[in-house]
Amino acid sequence: MAGATDLLVHWPIRPEAQDKTYLDLSAISELRPFRWTDVSLHIGALTTYWDILRDPQTRAEFPLLHEAARQVGAIQIQSRGTWAGNIANGSPAADGVPVLLAYDASVVLTSMAGSREIPLREYYTGYRNSVRRSDELITSIILPRRRYDFSVFHKVGARRAQAITKVGIAVTREAGARAANPWRVVASSVAATVRRCPAIEAFLASGALVRVPSDFFASIDADIRPIDDIRSTASYRRTVLARLLYHSLRGVSATVV
């Protein structure tokens, strides 16, 4: 456990959670800081949202980290919640995960047997399931330093703070033609995990003209399958995703008019 902001929710009335065994990381000070190399940003296992929010350099290079961190819970959660905990918790409604995915982050998993680095996009295998073995910890998150000429994060919750995401997007476009497709489109709360949307990315790169939000529906439907739950409805999620994409990219992408 790190900030325990997921783990301790309704703790007294969850005896099943109390009966498990936890390893507390909070006192390992080495895991707290984040650090820069020439090519990447390393977020520690105990780095909190507030740690990032206070840092001007991350804001300049990775503005979506700030956007997301600002919209997580409120200060009481930002001060304690960690980026690694957000990944490990595995909620499809997580707000840290989509922006990390949009920046092509990878995750360092460490066990007594050693460490391995895997791309975050390959981390989840299903609803609250991942490739992480039970003897592994997330010890850091690595973000490659690249130039982006566009990035946006939208969180749609039931209120402006202290809200669980009903539908969210994180979109980046890498500057320069290094990658085959410069677009990264990530959607949250519309599938079993937060996920990249390859069909939408391909659609954006295809040059097809987008004149109304509903032009996104075909690629949205290829990527995700939202559900009805106590927080929202499938049809709302699908409609909002299309509208957010359209209005965010209008004028940004030459094809969205």
Partner 1 sequence: MLRIEGLSKLCGAERYLDDEPLEGPLKGCLWGMTVRSPVSRGRIRDIVYGAGFNWSEFVVVTPDDIPGPNETYLIENDQPVLAPGYVRHMHEPVALIAHADRDLLRRALASIRVQVDPEPPVLDFRVPPRPEQIQRGTDNVIKQLRICKGDVEKVFATAPIIVEGEYETGAQEHVYIENNAMAAWIEDGPAGDVVVVRGSMQCPYYVLNAVKHALKRDETRVRIMQSPTGGGFGGKEDYPSTIALHAALLALKAQKPVKIVYDRSEDMAATTKRHPSLVRHKTAVDRNGRLLAQKIEVILDGGAYVTLSPVVLSRGIIHAAGPYSCDHVLIEGRAMLTNSVPYGAFRGFGAPQTIFAVERHMDRIAQKLGISPLEVRRVNLLKDGQTTSTQQTICGGTDRHALLERALGETDYARLLAQAEEFNREHPYLRRGVGIATVLHGAGFTGNGEVYLNSKVDVAGLPDGRLEVLAASTEMGQGTNTVFTRLAADAADYATDDVLVGMPDTFRVPNSGPTVASRTVMVVGKLIERAISDLAAQLGGGGSPLRGKALKDAIIAWHRVNGGGSLKARATYTPPPNVKFDDKKYIGDAYATFAWGVCVAHVEVDLRTAAVRVLHFTSLQDIGKVINPTLARGQVQGGTVQAIGWALSEELKFKDGGMANNSLTNYIIPTSDDVPPIRVLFHENPYEHGGGGAKGVGELPMDGPAPAILNAVAHATGCDPLAIPLTPERLMPLLEATP
Partner 2 sequence: MNSNAAHKPVCAESDAITIAFTLNGKSHTAKVAPGERLLDTLRYGLALTGTKEGCGEGECGACTVLLDGLPANSCLVPAFQVRGRDVRTIESIPAERLGPLLESGATQCGACTPGVVMTAAWIRDHRSELQSFTTRALMAGNLCRCTGYDGIIDGLERWIASESGGRS
Ligand X SMILES: Cc1cc2nc3c(=O)[nH]c(=O)nc-3n(C[C@H](O)[C@H](O)[C@H](O)COP(=O)(O)OP(=O)(O)OC[C@H]3O[C@@H](n4cnc5c(N)ncnc54)[C@H](O)[C@@H]3O)c2cc1C
Residues that bind ligand X (CB under 6 A): 1-7, 9, 25, 45, 72-73, 77, 80-82, 84-86, 88-89, 94-96, 137-138, 162
Q: Does 24 bind partner 2 (CB under 8 A)?
A: yes
The one segment of 9-17, 96-104, 118-126, 204-212 that binds partner 1 by CB under 8 A: 9-17
Binding-site string for partner 2 from residue 156 to residue 175, where x marks contact by CB under 8 A and - marks none: ----xxx-------------
Residue from 131, 161, 175, 208 that binds partner 1 (CB under 8 A)? 161
Q: What is the DSSP string of the chain?
A: --S-TTTTTTGGG-HHHHTS-----TT-GGGS--EE-SSEEEEETT-BHHHHHT-HHHHHH-HHHHHHHHHSS-HHHHTT-BHHHHHHH--TT-SHHHHHHHTT-EEEEEETTEEEEEEGGGTEEETTEES--TT-EEEEEEEE---EEEEEEEEE-SSSSS---SEEEEEEEESSS-SS--EEEEEESSSSS-EE-HHHHHHHHTT--B-SGGGGHHHHHHH------SS--HHHHHHHHHHHHHHHHBTTBTTB-
Q: Does 20 bind partner 1 (CB under 8 A)?
A: no
The one segment of 9-17, 91-99, 142-150, 237-245 that binds partner 2 by CB under 8 A: 9-17
Q: Does 207 bind partner 2 (CB under 8 A)?
A: no
50 binds, among partner 2, ligand X, partner 1, none (CB under 5 to 8 A by kind): partner 2
Q: Which chain residues interact with partner 2 by CB under 8 A?
A: 1, 3-5, 8-13, 18, 24, 26-27, 50, 54, 70, 73-77, 79-80, 160-162
